[in-house]
Amino acid sequence: MHSPSSSEPSRPFLTWQRILDWATEHYRCRSFSKDERIPTRPGLLYLVQRGAVRLVGTAQISSSASQLMSRRANRTPEEAFLGFVGAGQPFEIVAQSPFTLQSYAHVDQTAVVWMYWHDLDNWPHFRREVLDAFRYQHQRKLLWLSALGQRRTIDRLLGFLTLLVEEYGEPSVSEEDPEVLRGYYLPFPLTHAQIGSAIGSTRVTVTRLMGKLRQKGLLINQGDNLICLPASSVNLLRS
Amino acid sequence: MHSPSSSEPSRPFLTWQRILDWATEHYRCRSFSKDERIPTRPGLLYLVQRGAVRLVGTAQISSSASQLMSRRANRTPEEAFLGFVGAGQPFEIVAQSPFTLQSYAHVDQTAVVWMYWHDLDNWPHFRREVLDAFRYQHQRKLLWLSALGQRRTIDRLLGFLTLLVEEYGEPSVSEEDPEVLRGYYLPFPLTHAQIGSAIGSTRVTVTRLMGKLRQKGLLINQGDNLICLPASSVNLLRS
Q: What are the tens digits of pLDDT across the range A96-152?
A: 778 899 999 999 999 999 999 999 988 888 998 999 999 999 999 999 999 999 999
Per-residue pLDDT, averaged over A50-67, amounts to 79
Residues A22 and A136 in one domain: yes
Asked if B216 has any chain A CB less than 8 Å from its own CB, the reply is yes
Q: Do B146 and A80 touch (CB under 8 A)?
A: yes
| Closest Cα in chain A, distance from residue B111 (Å) | 22
Inter-residue contact A225 to A187 (CB < 8 Å): no
Residue from the list B65, B96, B149 with its beta carbon closest to the beta carbon of A218:
B65
Which residues on chain A are in Cβ contact (under 8 Å) with B150?
Answer: 59, 78, 80, 200
- B144 within domain boundaries: no
Q: Is B226 buried (19+), middle (13-18) or exposed (0-12) by CB count in 10 A?
A: middle
- Residues of chain A with Cβ-Cβ distance to B79 below 8 Å are 149
- Which residues on chain B are in Cβ contact (under 8 Å) with A45? none
Digit-coded pLDDT (tens) for B122-157: 888 899 899 999 999 999 999 999 999 999 999 999
pLDDT above 70 as % of chain B = 86
B19 vs B120: CA distance, rounded Å = 9
Residue B47 to chain A, least CA–CA distance (Å):
15
Q: Of A57, A220, A60, which Cα lies nearest the Cα of A141?
A: A57
Within 8 A of B238 by CB-CB distance, chain A residues are none
Classify residue B141: in a domain, yes or no: no
Which A residues 130-189 touch B at CB under 8 Å?
Answer: 131-132, 134-135, 137-139, 141-159, 162-163
Order of strands across the sheet that contains B170-173: B170-173, B181-185, B228-230
Residues of B in contact with A149 (CB under 8 A): 57, 78-82, 197-200
pLDDT tens digits, one per residue of A167-215: 999 999 888 888 889 999 999 999 999 999 999 999 999 999 999 999 9
Instruction: Specify the CATH number for the domain of residue A110.
Output: 2.60.120.10
Q: Are residues B21 and B119 in the same domain?
A: yes
CB contact under 8 A, B150 and A78: yes
| Residues B158, B180 share a domain | yes
- In this complex, is the C-beta atom of A68 within 8 Å of any C-beta atom belonging to chain B? no
Q: Where do runs of H (alpha helix) occur along A2-52?
A: 10-25
* Single residue among A111, A140, A169 that ends a domain in this structure: A140
Q: What is the CATH number of the domain that holds A195?
A: 1.10.10.10
Q: What per-residue string of b and e applies to A150-180 under the rule 16 or more CB within 10 Å gives b?
A: beebbbbbbbbbbbbbbbbbeebeeeeeeee
Rounded to whole angstroms, what are the CA distances from B128 to A1, A196, B96, B117? 22, 37, 25, 12
Residue A131 and residue A62 share a domain: yes
SS3 at position A41:
coil
Q: What is the CA A56 to chain-centroid distance, rounded?
A: 9
Q: How many domains does chain B have?
A: 2
Residues A103 and A174 placed together within one structural domain of the fold:
no
pLDDT higher than 60, residue B1? no
Residue B142 domain-assigned? no
What is the structure's pLDDT at A67? Answer: 45
* pLDDT category of residue A13 using cuts at 50, 70 and 90: low
Is A82 part of the contact surface with chain B (CB cutoff 8 Å)?
Answer: yes
Domain span at residue A41 reads 1-140
Res A99: pLDDT: 87
Say yes or no: A135 and A158 in one domain: no
pLDDT at B66 over 70: no
Neighbours of B78 (CB within 10 A): 17
- This prediction has a pTM of 0.89
Residue B118 and residue B1 in one domain: yes
The answer, for B235 touching chain A at a CB cutoff of 8 Å, is yes
Last residue of a domain, one of B113, B136, B159: B136
Residue A112 and residue A182 share a domain = no
